[in-house]
Amino acid sequence: MTTPIALTIAGSDSSGGAGIEADLKTFAALGVYGASVITAVTAQNTKGVSGIHQVPAEFVTAQIDAVFSDLAVGAVKIGMVAQPPVIDAIVAGLARWSPKHVVLDPVMVATSGDRLLATEAVDALRTKLIPRASVITPNLPEAAALLDEPVAAGEAAVEEQGRRLLALGCKAVLIKGGHGEGAESIDYLIDSSGVTALAAPRIATKNTHGTGCSLSSAIAAELAKGEDVETAVRNAKTWISAAIAAADRFSVGHGHGPIHHFYKFY
């Protein structure tokens, strides 16, 4: 029996709701063994980010090589990568170890509104990491920032931005509709075969801390289990919607609380 393994390369969230901590919870909830490479340590809680300590690029390299030299990694999720030298280290690591699936969540701003990605890192993300990704998962503001355009308004504009992001070299783009309006939250999956709209009821809760991290890591978990990209995205969307719907069972912090990763279990 083969154990599905997923690796998250991301920042640590001291409050446990996003980043590495959310990714490992997601992997576990979906029956996948999780490993981690930490790119930054944040001091944050449900109200915001008060500090970021960068992990040196050479130590990011050491973590990547330690994991891949021993574990059969089926999929990689990449989250917060705030500095160009760390992006270079990750790109070199991916080139060395050639994982089958790479899910890139271009984390630029935290749920609280705090900026997490240095301006000079955006171009490195665009030109170096995106071309290596099986799927990228920007929300509406992130998609606009990657293209240096206004936020897309309406389905046609979202699809057009998705096609332009696809042209940067990734195999698929999932533009998340959580920042949109209306009764439904619609995500758009754009790949070489066309556009698939994935709708779910919009859930009224302020407890959405770590939603983006958890969705991208859920996609990675499903890919690690052998699903194709569309099935992985559909399964991840179903799971994240239920985790958000169960978020108000928790009473954690005084700001944007976490989603309930383990809603199936307690």
**CATH class for domain 5-249?**
alpha beta
Domain residue spans in the chain?
Answer: 5-249
For 153-210, how does the pLDDT look when each residue is reduced to its tens digit (9 = 90+)? 888 999 999 999 999 999 999 998 765 566 777 899 999 999 999 988 878 788 788 8
- E strand map for 55-106: 75-78, 102-104
Return the active site residues. Answer: 176, 208, 210-213
Report strand pairing: 102-104 vs 135-136: parallel
* Neighbouring-strand partners of residue 75: 6
Q: Which residues contact 102 (CB under 8 A, 6 or more apart)?
A: 75, 76, 78, 94, 132, 133, 134
- Angle formed at CA 81 by CA 133 and CA 20, multiple of 5 degrees: 90
Q: How far apart are CA 107 and CA 110, in angstroms?
A: 8
Each residue of 130-152: pLDDT tens digit?
999 999 999 998 999 899 888 88
Half-sphere exposure of 168 (CA within 13 A, CB side): 25
pTM: 0.94
